[in-house]
Amino acid sequence: MPNILVILIACAALLTLIFFIATVAALRKKKLFSSTFRFLLALLALSSAGLLGMIVIATDGYHALTHEEIAAVVKTEPIGEKGFTAHFRFPDGHEASYRLAGDALYVDAHILKWKPIVNILGLHTAYELDRVAGRYMDLKEERESIRTVFLLSRDKPVNMFTLRQRYSLLRPLLDAEYGSASFINSDKPAHFEIRVSTTGLLIRKAGREAVPQPRP
């Protein structure tokens, strides 16, 4: 979470408390107009704290993207004629393996691009890997054969990508929200880099010792 967001949430919460205390004080003095005005200010401060808190929770799991970077390194190992295992290694060091059916490795991601006015809060273009799947090159096989899909993203109470699709009030904050996907043939053992740029997702072949750089 950007430090400026923490400060703003704390300030909004403090203002909410101050205005509520001031409202109670005005009510005791039977100042109706003054108490109403202070109560409205308290609600405004509370709403601001809630909005900022929602943004923090909804973007949990997303990573800031200011240039092309490695989101994961994948090692593929064929299993039979139409299957392979994909071993993922992520920048935070954790690893996961998925047994997939098909001829190709398919990965997609969610991309969030914030408006310039929100960049001031420390929020910039962000991404989150969403799914990995096996893909068949032949369309008939894609329709009729076994499908394997696994979730790469973490479960969260709310997701900014979903919220933006559901609520138009977030339009002033987000410049764009879109999905990006890429796939590559996996018919032989190989190492790949799953890369994310400001224009989307791509997969490149990598050296055997390639590892994603840890985040600072």
**For position 15, what pLDDT does the model report?**
86
Compute the distance between CA of residue 121 and CA of residue 2 in angstroms, rounded to an integer. 7
Is the dihedral angle over the CA atoms 64, 65, 66, 69 positive or is it negative? Answer: positive
Compute the distance between CA of residue 162 and CA of residue 62 in angstroms, rounded to an integer. 13
| Domain spans of the chain, in order of start | 3-58, 63-205
Compute the distance between CA of residue 128 and CA of residue 61 in angstroms, rounded to an integer. 7
Cα 129 to chain center, whole Å?
A: 8
Question: 214 falls in which pLDDT band (50, 70, 90)?
Answer: very low
**For position 209, what pLDDT does the model report?**
47
pTM given for the model: 0.64
Q: Give me the chain's average pLDDT, please.
A: 82
The DSSP secondary-structure symbol of 154 reads P
Three-class HEC string of 169-210: HHCCCEEEEEEEEEEEECCCCEEEEEEEECCEEEEEECCCCC
| DSSP H or E segment with residue 22 | helix 3-28
Assign 96 to helix, strand or coil: strand
Is the dihedral angle over the CA atoms 206, 209, 212, 215 positive or is it negative? Answer: negative
Compute the distance between CA of residue 46 and CA of residue 63 in angstroms, rounded to an integer. 27
Residue 31's Cβ-count burial label (10 Å; 0-12, 13-18, 19+) is middle
Compute the distance between CA of residue 127 and CA of residue 113 in angstroms, rounded to an integer. 9
Which residues 6+ apart lie within 8 Å of 75 measured at CB?
86, 87, 89, 189, 190, 191, 192
Among 64-68, 151-155, 158-162, 197-201, name the one with the lowest average pLDDT: 64-68
Which tens digits make up the pLDDT trace of 149-187? 999 988 777 677 777 767 776 777 776 678 899 999 998
